[in-house]
Amino acid sequence: MNTAGEKPEKTVIVSGATFGIGHEMALYLARSGFRVVGFGLEKAPVSSVAEASVADLNSAVKAEGLSAEFVAGDVTSESDVERAVSKALEYGDGIFGLVNNAAIGPLGTILDTQPDLFMRIMEVNLKGSYLMARAVIPHMRERGGGRIVNIGSGAGWGKPNMAAYSTSKGGLVALSKAMALDHFADGVAVNTVIPGGGGIISGMSLGRVAGDQEKLQSKAIGTVAGRIMNGSDMAGAVRFLLSEEAAAISGTIIDVGCFAHQGSSTPLPRRA
């Protein structure tokens, strides 16, 4: 964690940072010594129960003495993305990291997912990451390199009743690997972190079950740690990929939780 009074040297943008796991990751990174620009919505998106006030979030981080600032905006809006990038550039040390976390996750097969909703899911989950990366990579290249961490999903390998969401997250895995190859020579590492095991508390997951936490977690596999994954678990993996220890890692996937979605069988329950 950051030493009190120590000036953060690296600026990281986290999208989808105004609530849920994205917010937890933003705070974790700020407490770990990064300067964080959190970017996200204030009103709950489709199929989510989360809401936030950027003014309240900024008051909270100021009271804690963290080097973090939250900016309201939509990752599908080029002007909003540019505003978040401009805010990050105000600190004068360029942009070192980007965590593409913003996503929406309505359930449905292709038959009960309307075309406009299908396209909205693609816009947020896939185009949003594209727009964010496209905006920051030139600045990373200018400073000699940087790190992009895309937040994926086990649905990217296909899951029932998640046709559009699975499509978007599968595309994100492919986009991550393509960017890792394309920007290798620029010193920009691109990796993916995937939350797994089910039962994860977020605005998106609770929205899928009408806010019923018991229903969400009743059949969750959880993690090898014997519990359901949380935001700190995710943030720890992200922090590693932003660290000097991960300087040579690009094009890979870190799974935080259960890996059954990657072609494996479902793990057995933990022994008593």
If phi > 0 it is left, if psi is from -120 to 50 it is alpha, else beta; for residue 119 that is alpha
Around Cβ 87, how many Cβ atoms within 10 Å?
18
Helices 115-122 and 163-182, packing angle to 10 deg: 30
Q: Which secondary structure element, helix H or strand E, spans residue 71, and what is its range?
A: strand 68-72
Question: Out of 28, 91, 130, 165, which one is annotated catalytic?
Answer: 165
165 noted as active-site residue: yes
How many Cα atoms are found within 13 Å in the side-chain-facing hemisphere of 249?
17
SS3 35: strand
Euclidean distance between CA atoms 112 and 261, whole angstroms: 23
Q: Which residue has the tokens 């609770």?
A: 206
Is 181 in contact with 241 (CB distance < 8 Å)?
Answer: no
Q: Which residues are catalytic?
A: 165
